[in-house]
Amino acid sequence: MKVAGIDEAGKGPVIGPMCIGGVLTDEENLHSIKNLGVADSKKLSPKRREDLFLKIEKYASKTFVLEISPSQIDELRKIMTMNEITVMGFSKVLENLQPDTAYVDAADVKAERFGKKLTESYTVNVRKPLTVVSEHKADDKYPIVSAASIVAKVTRDRRIEELKKSIGKDFGSGYPSDRKTKDFLDNWVKENGSLPDFVRHSWKTAEQCLENK
């Protein structure tokens, strides 16, 4: 039986993509993933995440990351909520992996509702049965979801570092609560009169920067 774990990194930031990571393995190999020492990516150092990322790719049957850009998020938010965008993204990762069972970190206050919507979205596009286990803090409970969390987080971190190098500026984490990120956006708008394409224009933080201009 094929088992997958799915998790996202970057749902809330104002800068950069949302990355949805998926890890697929045979059921009998789940212990190998666990023995790597995987954990919720937020509890690991960047170096530890990078080390585990390489090991996960080696032991998993397949890994896949879907990146949803800021401009794609802005367009989609005109017709759906962020939770619905996340369901759509998780479904696309599942379509790529096509497991028999999927463990997912619920991106909805109601974990059961998230799992139901994900199952419905998947079965519309892939006409084969799928068991979805949707829980909050699944990246803490299930090593296969921890692995997906690491794959998603490492991919997003790499994109953020690439972005900082390309513009020659350090904007911090990219989250609205980060003072460094907020100051960067304020200064960018003052200098350029508009927001860059790597920012989610539909976020309140971004809109406020334009209003303050």
Please write the tens of the pLDDT for every residue from 153-177: 999 999 999 999 999 999 999 999 9
Q: Do residues 88 and 117 share a domain?
A: yes
Amino acid symbol at 61:
S
Q: Do residues 136 and 190 share a domain?
A: no
Q: Is it the case that residue 40 has pLDDT exceeding 80?
A: no
CB atoms < 10 A from the CB of 203, how many?
Answer: 21
Average model confidence (pLDDT) across the chain: 94
Q: Do residues 173 and 149 share a domain?
A: no
Residue 127: strand, helix, or coil: coil
Tell me how many domains the chain contains.
Answer: 2
Q: Do residues 154 and 183 share a domain?
A: no
Q: What is the CATH number of the domain that holds 77?
A: 3.30.420.10
Q: Do residues 121 and 207 share a domain?
A: no
Q: What is the CATH number of the domain that holds 179?
A: 1.10.10.460
Q: Do residues 177 and 83 share a domain?
A: no
Q: What's the pLDDT at 44?
A: 87
Report residue 211's pLDDT band, with 50, 70 and 90 as the boundaries: confident
pTM of the model: 0.94
Q: Do residues 119 and 22 share a domain?
A: yes
Q: Do residues 133 and 181 share a domain?
A: no
What is the CA angle 29-116-56, rounded to 5?
25
Q: Do residues 137 and 197 share a domain?
A: no
Q: Is it the case that residue 128 has pLDDT exceeding 90?
A: no
Which residues does 70 contact at the CB level (< 8 Å), separation at least 6?
Answer: 15, 16, 17, 197, 198, 199, 200, 201
Residue 87 structural domain = 2-164
Q: Do residues 91 and 21 share a domain?
A: yes
Q: Do residues 194 and 159 share a domain?
A: no
Q: Is it the case that residue 94 has pLDDT exceeding 90?
A: yes
Q: Is it the case that residue 125 has pLDDT exceeding 90?
A: no
Q: Do residues 67 and 112 share a domain?
A: yes
